[in-house]
Amino acid sequence: MTLPPMNQNVTLAEIAEIAGVSPATVSRVLNGDERVAEHRVESVNRAVRELGYTPSRAARSLATGKTGLIATIIDSNLEVFTDPFWGIVTTAISRTLQQSNLQALLMATPLNKADNMLASSLSSQQVDGAIFFQLHDDSFVAELYKQGLPCVVVGTPKNATSIPFVDVDNAAGARMATEHLITRGAKNIATITGDMSLSAGKLRYEGYESAINGLGRAVDTRLVAHGNFSHESGIEAMEELLDSGVPFDAVFVANDLMALGAMSVLHDHEIKIPEQVAVIGFDDMFAAQLGRQKLSTIRQDIEGLGSTAASMMAEMVEGRRPASRMLQTELVQRETT
């Protein structure tokens, strides 16, 4: 692989000189200004190519007041890092931003300390915008957004705000999962919820509820056990369900991690999946395909989450105000339903 010549210090001025035009013209060509004579455009481009010229971001920023940088902020308090999710989303963001000539700046920082560096670097045009991941406390983002910084959040903000966000359609996905269980012949469908204080937890429960309601029934509260999205909590919730003695022949679990835990207790009790109890999860995490029985689940478009967030940001940078978006989920039937 050969690299273009190292552009130690080729400047726009030199290009101008070589091409025999003024710096302003070079700048115009570089920025795609229409009204430049064809032949000049060519000679400028030739010079650019020959010298391997790349405009200086710093100089451009200074002149335009735009940095071309988008902060991608990860609340490092979050424990969710073990989740492959992050790598995929941030990668998608970066790739998509690049198409709009924007760069992703990765900032991992605790979001709770009020006056951290983050605040000042965000609130003082060091970046053209910021993408946040779902947060417990939106007020920080709300503030920034009010100050005029383009913001988009990945996930559903807790306190309904006007900040544009993109999320998977948790409610629809949960409904789809539950309806799938119904289709497979389940009569008494239990659920293990996630952390209900998170929008994903709440919405997934609501999806389950709406599917049950669609049957013309109310949900039997004895059939809902509360977990917190952790593997451990899935185990406990399933034990609870079993202990209650209320019969059920299927269970919608709010995420795969808990579903895996739930399955293990089902196995321990020698309850056949899916014959005696069908189970379906949510997320389609990698481990869902690894166990002795591959888990049926609801797949979310993680990459789509990132690329959508990025394109929304690109729009905002151009002054538009994109509507929030919900991404469709997909049913993945494997061996547990």
Per CB under 8 A, 291 contacts its own copies: yes
What is the pattern of x (binds its own copies, CB under 8 A) and - over residues 215-234? ----------------x---
Instruction: Decide: is 182 part of the binding site for DNA (CB under 7 A).
Output: no
Closest by alpha carbon to 203, among 184, 180, 177, 182?
177
* Rounded CA separation 290/259 (Å): 13
Residue 45 touches DNA, criterion: CB under 7 A: no
Q: Is 13 in the site for DNA (CB under 7 A)?
A: yes
**Count of residues of this chain found to bind its own copies when the rule CB under 8 A is applied:** 71
Q: Is 60 in the site for DNA (CB under 7 A)?
A: yes
Binder of residue 104, out of its own copies, DNA, none (CB less than 5 to 8 A by kind): its own copies
Q: Could you say whether residue 290 binds its own copies (CB under 8 A)?
A: yes
Is 23 a binder of DNA (CB under 7 A)?
Answer: yes
Task: Quote the least distance from Cβ 133 to its own copies, whole Å.
Answer: 11
The window from 27-35, 134-142, 212-220, 313-321 that contacts its own copies (CB under 8 A) reads 134-142
- DSSP secondary structure of 37-89: -HHHHHHHHHHHHHHT----HHHHHHHHS---EEEEEEETT-SGGGSTHHHHH
Is residue 117 within the footprint of DNA (CB under 7 A)? no
Interstrand relation of 69-75 and 297-299 (parallel, antiparallel or unpaired): unpaired
Query: Residue 212 burial by CB count (10 A; 0-12/13-18/19+): exposed, middle or buried?
Result: buried
User: How many Å apart are CA 107 and CA 127, to the nearest integer?
Assistant: 12
43 binds its own copies (CB under 8 A): no
> Residue 246's binding partner, choosing from its own copies, DNA, none, with beta-carbon cut-off 5 to 8 A by kind?
none
Instruction: Single out the segment in contact with its own copies by CB under 8 A; choices: 19-27, 58-66, 209-217, 318-326.
Output: 58-66
119 binds, among its own copies, DNA, none (CB under 5 to 8 A by kind): its own copies
- Count of CA atoms in the C-beta half-sphere (13 A) of 91: 7
User: Which CA distances in Å does 75 have to 93, 108, 205, 311?
Assistant: 16, 6, 25, 21
Tell me if 27 contacts DNA by CB under 7 A: yes
**Binding of residue 103 to its own copies (CB under 8 A):** yes
Please report whether residue 28 would count as binding DNA according to CB under 7 A: yes
Q: Give contact residues for DNA (rule: CB under 7 A).
A: 9, 11-13, 20-28, 30-31, 34-37, 40, 53, 55-56, 58-60, 62-65
